[in-house]
Amino acid sequence: MIKRSNSRRLVLAASTAAIALTSSGMAFAQSASNELDVIVVTAQKREQTLIDVPQSISVVSGETLEAVHASTFADYLKLVPGLQATQDTPGQSRLVLRGINTGGVASTVGVYVDETPFGSSTGLVNGAVLAGDFDTFDVSRIEVLRGPQGTFYGASSLGGVLKFVTNAPQFGETVVRARGNVEATKGGAESYSANAVFNIPLGDTLAFRASGTYREIGGSIDSIGTGGSDIEKDIDDSRSYGGRASLLFKPSDKFSLRLSVVVQNIEADAGSAVESNPNTLETLYGRRSQSQFVPQFSDVNYRVYNATGDVNLGFADLTSSSSYSTQKQTLRTDLTTNLSGLVAAIFGVPNEFLLAQNTNVEKYTQELRLSSNAAGPFEWLVGGYYNHEKGLIRQQYHAVRPGTFTDIAGLPLLGKVALPSKYEELAGFANVTLHLGDRVDIDLGGRYSHNSQKASQVGDGVLAGGPTSFSVTSSEEVFTYSAAPRFKVSEHASLYARIAKGFRPGGPNVIPPAAPASTPKTYDSDSVLSYELGFKGETADRRFGIDVAVFHIDWKNIQLFAAVNGFGVNINGSGAKSDGAEFTATARPIPGLNLSVNGAYTDAKLDGDTSPLVGGLKGDRLPFTPELSLAFNADYRWAVKAGVEAYVGGSVRHLSDQAGGFDATYRAANGRQREVKSYEVVDLQAGVDLGQVSLEAYVKNLGDSDGRVSTSAVTANGFNVNPNGAMTTGVVRPRTIGLAVTAEF
């Protein structure tokens, strides 16, 4: 047995204060004077109060994220109705909004860091499962825009957009704050984290802010020797570390320039998945375990660099955003159960088998926009956008001597494949808001974009079908639009309707060796047309609010992922529909008490059969979208004595039954897709604030739920993936108890 070192590696890698309860469209911050301030958002690329934006948006403040100890997607799903994440390894997450998900390779939810779009725009670099899971320490807020966002955010925002809004450097105040956590997890190793931030004014026109984070998450899954695998405890530990730095130059009210950089590394060993019964999804062998023959890992590194300048021209504001980002994944996947037997049968040598993979995305974007700033009956915004991406997937198969990483001598090349790709997009967009009197607004937007793509494959080896070398190109032009009338019932309530179109680029397929002639060389873009009706209201004192939206989405030409001769390709299916409703209600009946309840009903189904290679039939539910999700959040803060406050809080989240990933074999045997059972997760927290120092205790997953958050294939290449025909399922982390201390100087 060999154990992975935590030092830097050159190994190959992977495959395919006051708490603001801002979990809804009605979001407020409570100031020191106990007054409730309106939250301002930038969802439509200009500052607006939330009630004035004619679409469904959730906002979670940085204070709330810290109060509930949320640092990853999985931690704040309970605060956003309709948002789901499937994940079985840190750094590998798929986001789903309003049920827009088929398990494909390209993302349906756009991820932004301030002005920077992050991740791949194509279906060639695993963008769907590599959503940017940025650490949330010292962010100002997270904005979640539900429904297609084609006008402002362009491609790959079919379901919506998740936007991290970071804290800008502040003038006139020096801030130094540090935070540390320690956690104990049932049946697992301890976890630790540390965070720090400082803000320094460098004169009247210059300010600097920087933050850093380090998290070490102890494992809770063991390899117990099943099928001859290793015996080792806590194989799924992980580390995440990095930071942000920002410099703001503002010589006058007419001009500002902000330079920012984000660095984050996520290093995970074995994934957070357990071997399960493929029919019931119950955990096998009486404990959380995987069969490890070759130690696995996945390292994902984010780098984001941005320069944003704003110039007030009098009649309008000119904004320029230039970004460069990279996302690099290196991983090792254990394929011993799946393929070592085949190698042994052909070449007569005992072996363990692994896949080493690199997945890289390098992205440059430039956006320039001009927005009116004069009050009047007509507001407008026009802009242009350019995107240039380079992608690469590199894979190599290795048969190694058992218990080592040493290749078995004398074997021919088993498989080596490189898939470089390029994506280029040019777009123009415009938005106008017509104010027809004091009560009626009409918001209209449109975006025209042109993209061109090129992909190549160079490969060789027995399992890759011998030498291959070819390239494919594609291009397309797309127009998306939105229209949203709004009726202002009063100063504190409004009704709106919205129709919006979104799209996801098609592109070239990298055709597997000896693929059937019918395998498409390219796949088409897919699109959604969304219809939404909503209401936002609050009382005059802003202590009670409600946000309700109902929607219908037509999804056409859906993109699907299929396996041909053991290799993955993108194909198109007929379509799907998603109907549903979302709501959030907030209440602050007395000072210090914050209550909210949010929920979503989503009926998302195929409206036609998919290819038999995928295995979906008309009427099948779309994967990992519960029909009903509900969450209740509460916290109470009170003064113990002068300068000392205490607080308690908690949340309960319920997810109803969900469908797992499409599986043709399972459906043929059972007459339906695999079902993921309903589950609940309860979290609690309490603390005392002593002024400069605060102490906190918390429990995540109090009831020790083992809810499933992902499913994997049972077979690949015609062979079992795990011993005894088991499948692996991602699971909620077991009950975790934590202590935290925060100090501000």
pLDDT, tens digit (0-9, with 9 covering 90-100), for 475-486: 999 999 999 999
For 358, other C-beta atoms within 10 Å of its C-beta total: 17
Span 26-49, pLDDT tens digits: 333 443 334 456 678 888 888 888
Span 262-314, pLDDT tens digits: 999 999 999 999 999 999 999 999 999 999 999 999 999 999 999 999 999 99
Query: How far apart are alpha carbons 525 and 479 in whole angstroms?
Result: 12
Element (H, E) at 615: none
Query: How far apart are alpha carbons 109 and 128 in whole angstroms?
Result: 8
CA 302: distance to chain centroid?
13
CATH of the domain at 57: 2.40.170.20
Share of the chain above pLDDT 90, in %: 81
Q: Is 406 exposed, middle or buried (0-12, 13-18, 19+ CB in 10 A)?
A: exposed
Q: Is 127 exposed, middle or buried (0-12, 13-18, 19+ CB in 10 A)?
A: buried
The reported pLDDT for the residue numbered 12 is 24
Averaged pLDDT for residues 120-124: 91
What is the band of 4 on the pLDDT scale with cuts at 50, 70, 90? very low
Does pLDDT of 8 surpass 50? no
Does pLDDT of 448 surpass 80? yes
Does pLDDT of 641 surpass 50? yes
What is the band of 469 on the pLDDT scale with cuts at 50, 70, 90? confident
What is the band of 104 on the pLDDT scale with cuts at 50, 70, 90? confident
583 domain residue, yes or no: yes
679 domain residue, yes or no: yes
Does pLDDT of 229 surpass 50? yes
Between 442 and 520, the more confident residue is 442
CA distances from 596 to 27, 163, 276, 583 (A): 10, 22, 35, 10
Query: How far apart are alpha carbons 188 and 734 in whole angstroms?
Result: 9
- Asked whether the CA dihedral 273, 279, 280, 284 is positive or negative, the reply is negative
Pairing, β 36-38 against β 28-30 = antiparallel
Give residue for tokens 């599986």.
663
Closest by CA to 48, choosing from 610, 412, 433, is 433
- Asked whether the CA dihedral 44, 577, 94, 550 is positive or negative, the reply is positive
Span 392-410, pLDDT tens digits: 999 999 999 999 999 999 9
Q: Could you tell me the residue range of the domain that residue 253 belongs to? A: 28-744
Span 537-582, pLDDT tens digits: 999 988 999 999 999 999 999 999 887 776 778 899 999 999 999 9
Element (H, E) at 541: none
690 domain residue, yes or no: yes
> Mean pLDDT of all residues in the chain?
91
Averaged pLDDT for residues 240-257: 97
**What's the Rg (C-alpha) of the chain?**
25
Token pair in block for residue 46: 């200009």
Strand-pair partners of 57: 145
Closest by CA to 383, choosing from 40, 50, 115, 112, is 115
Span 659-713, pLDDT tens digits: 999 998 899 899 999 999 999 999 999 999 999 999 999 999 999 999 999 999 8
Closest by CA to 580, choosing from 530, 632, 620, is 530
Q: Are 626 and 586 in contact (CB under 8 A)?
A: no
471 domain residue, yes or no: yes
CA distances from 688 to 85, 183, 647, 697, 739 (A): 32, 18, 6, 9, 12
36 domain residue, yes or no: yes
Give residue for tokens 């006051």.
18
Averaged pLDDT for residues 362-381: 93
Q: Are 298 and 329 in contact (CB under 8 A)?
A: yes
Q: Are 564 and 516 in contact (CB under 8 A)?
A: yes
15 domain residue, yes or no: no
Q: Which amino acid is residue 361, in one-letter code?
A: V
450 domain residue, yes or no: yes
Out of 98-102, 315-319, 466-470, least confident range:
466-470
Averaged pLDDT for residues 156-165: 94
Query: How far apart are alpha carbons 45 and 379 in whole angstroms?
Result: 13
Q: Which amino acid is residue 617, in one-letter code?
A: L
Closest by CA to 645, choosing from 685, 592, 684, 608, is 592
- Asked whether the CA dihedral 635, 636, 640, 645 is positive or negative, the reply is positive
643 domain residue, yes or no: yes
Q: What angle do CA 718, 724, 726 make, to 5 degrees?
A: 80
What is the band of 15 on the pLDDT scale with cuts at 50, 70, 90? very low
In the chain, what is the greatest distance between 2 CA atoms, to the nearest angstrom?
Answer: 82
Q: Is 445 helix (H, G, I), strand (E, B) or coil?
A: strand
Task: Please report the beta strands in 509-558, taking only residues with DSSP state E, as ranges in sequence order.
Answer: 522-523, 526-538, 544-556
Domain count, the chain: 1
For 715, other C-beta atoms within 10 Å of its C-beta total: 15
Q: Are 666 and 623 in contact (CB under 8 A)?
A: no
Averaged pLDDT for residues 612-631: 93
For 286, other C-beta atoms within 10 Å of its C-beta total: 7
Query: How far apart are alpha carbons 469 and 736 in whole angstroms?
Result: 50
Does pLDDT of 734 surpass 80? yes
Residue 660 CB partners (closer than 8 Å, separation 6+): 281, 623, 624, 673, 674, 675, 676, 708, 711
